[in-house]
Structure 1
Amino acid sequence: MAIPHAEYPDLRGRRILICRPEPEASRLAEQFGAAGAETRVLPLIERQPLPETPERRTVLLGLDEFAHVIAVSPFAARLLLDEIDTWWPQIPMGLQWYGVGAGTAAVLASHGLATHQPDAGWTSEALLALPTLARFEGERVLLAKGENGRELIRETLEARGARVTPLALYRRDRPRYAAGEIHAALDTFAPEAIITLSGETLNNLIALGANSSHNLYDRLLIVPADRVAKQARAAGFTTLCIPGSLADNDIVAAVALQFAGRDGGSGKAK
């Protein structure tokens, strides 16, 4: 449940490391700063649009042949809409649009598209629970995604009778940081909480921490879903939190309430 900004406990002096990609990382840092926290942005995923190919252009030119269009992330939704605008003066009628999570749905809705999204949850599993995706009789589904992402949506929908066309629009890379940058972010800054909102981000954090003397495993770790929480526990993290949603204000609220709970509401760590 979303928590109004005015109800945030005091985050003054708290140190928050944000490992989201840009521009989401800097936007979230502003929200934490407004609550009084000190922040350091260290994106652990870089997203690069993939070059256009004749095959991808052919798929998009046949957009009106699909019954459903799914975007797995806000970045995928923006890239998809940009390419559709290139080839279609007007988006074909009759398509059903879906966003994995409220942020993705908001990007599609900002383009004037009526968009399906889960009532609760922001994962692929939550999207797949929608009644309109429960059963197919050979309908075509366009899946806008990143390169080498999870295959759960495609595999599940194909098992339900859909003909799914994956459309890879971007790739994700792990940024390269100099030793001094890593030391500054993990050792000198010494974060009390770390924001890792994907399994890939978590893996990159673990790899980065292997070259640091800072013990990341006892920090408060913010993860997006149970799947990533299990991954974190298996790696040795001990203090995990899944926010009420991945909206910026809910992430800030979740961190603030975690600290308040630890401190008996005093706002300072025990």
Structure 2
Amino acid sequence: MRVVLTRPRPEARRWADTLVARGHQVLLLPLIDIAPAPDARAVQQAWSSLPDCQAAMFVSGNAVQGFFGTGNGRDWPSTTRAWSPGPGTTRALVAAGVPPGRIDAPPADAAQFDSEALWPVVAPQVQAGARVLLVRGAGADGRPAGRDWLAQQLMQAGTHVDTVAAYARRLPQFDDEALAQARRAAGDGSVWLFSSSEAIANLRRLLPGQDWSGARAIATHERIAQAARGAGFGVVCPSRPAEADVVAALESFG
């Protein structure tokens, strides 16, 4: 079976290795480009503020890499927790040098890996008047962008929330061949793997008016599945984002 990987290229390569080892064909069509932080000075200032923060929450592995890439080799402060929404971000934090004992994340058997799954783990730590840093990506305007659910929970608990964009997400530029490959994959039996609603939005911008009714997709969250259905994908299979679950969902297509 052929799988269309839409994750940013560095993440897609790891998934490609896993899927090829399982005997699947892979087409890399990253639907989000990752660029450096739009304001490196703001990230450096965030680094300087870390010892005063109760915790820093990283929304993704890209957030970890962008933040530590601007840290000039500084060590993680012993007084600050690192919050992760899932295994990929946790692996990135450990690789960046954060001691595993300083990391909080949802349990491995969580139904989903997101802010809602993280909150029950970290809520007992939250202190009124404390500071928490949210490390995320920037949108097209260069400002931090993303879901505000966790920030709202923190502010309701009396916590002061700072936000910094450690990387930027951009619409990729597809050449004619990539556009042709995407059109063919809309109806040739390929299975698209989506881990971001933004990737689906970018696909719709790149191929406006494309008929997706004959296309199949796996989405690693129900919100993403809803976006795929909204785009017109004929078959959408939600899955936990863990590799084993995604592979099982893929192979359920037969």
**Shorter-chain TM band:** 0.7 to 0.9
- Aligned equivalent of 2:223, options 217, 222, 227: 227
Task: Report whether the alignment pairs 1:152 with 2:141.
Answer: no
Matched, 1:172 2:169: yes
Deviation at 1:105, TM superposition (A): 1.2
Give yes or no for contact 1:31–1:249 (8 Å, CA) kept in 2. no
Per-residue CA shift, 1:63-83, capped at 9, x if unaligned?
111111111101111222333
Q: Distance in 2 between matches of 1:186 and 1:237?
A: 13
Structure 2 residues without counterparts, runs of 5 or longer: 139-144
Please list every run of 5 or more consecutive structure 1 residues that lacks an aligned counterpart in the other structure. 1-13, 261-270
CA drift at 1:162:
1.1
SS in 2 for 1:237: coil
1:220, distance to aligned residue in structure 2 (A) = 2.0
Partner of 2:179: 182
Residue 154 to residue 167, structure 1, CA distance change in 2 (3 Å): same
Residue type matched to 1:240 in 2?
V
User: Does the residue aligned with 2:70 lie in a helix, a strand or coil?
Assistant: helix
Per-residue Cα deviation, 1:246-269 (whole angstroms, up to 9, x for no partner)? 233432222012x13xxxxxxxxx
Say which of 201, 204, 218 aligns to 1:203. Answer: 201
Cα distance in 1, alignment partners of residues 120 and 196 from structure 2: 20
Q: Deviations over 1:48-96 (max 9, x none)?
A: 0115444432232121111111111011112223333x263x4321211
Runs of 4+ in 1 over 6 A off after TM superposition: none
State whether structure 2 residue 37 is matched by structure 1 residue 40: no
Paired-residue identity, %: 28
Separation (CA, whole Å) in 1 of partners of 2:122 and 2:84: 14
Choose which of 72, 78, 84 in structure 2 pairs with 1:93.
Answer: 78
Pair member with larger Rg: 1
Residue 242 of structure 2 corresponds to residue 247 of structure 1: yes
**1:15-30 alignment to 2 at 5 Å?**
15-30=2-17
C-alpha contact 2:185 2:215 (8 A) present in aligned 1: no
1:167-211 deviations in whole A, cap 9, x for unaligned?
A: 111111111112332113332783520011101011112233436
Q: Which moves more between the two structures, 136-145 or 173-182?
A: 173-182
Whether the 8 Å CA contact 1:133–1:157 is kept in 2: the answer is no
Give the letter aligned to residue 33 of structure 2.
Answer: E
CA contact (8 A) 1:193 1:220 kept: yes
* Preserved CA contact (<8 Å) 1:243 1:250: yes
Number of the residue aligned with 2:104: 116
Instruction: Output the aligned Cα RMSD.
Output: 2.2
TM-score (norm 1): 0.80
Contact 1:17–1:191 (8 Å) recurs in 2: no
> Is 1:103 matched with 2:93?
no
1:208–1:166 Cα change, 3 Å: same
State the AA in 2 paired with 1:30: D
8 Å CA contact 1:154, 1:166 repeated in 2: no
Which residue identity lines up with residue 27 of structure 2 in the other structure?
R
2:50 match: 63
Amino acid in structure 2 at the alignment position of 1:145: R
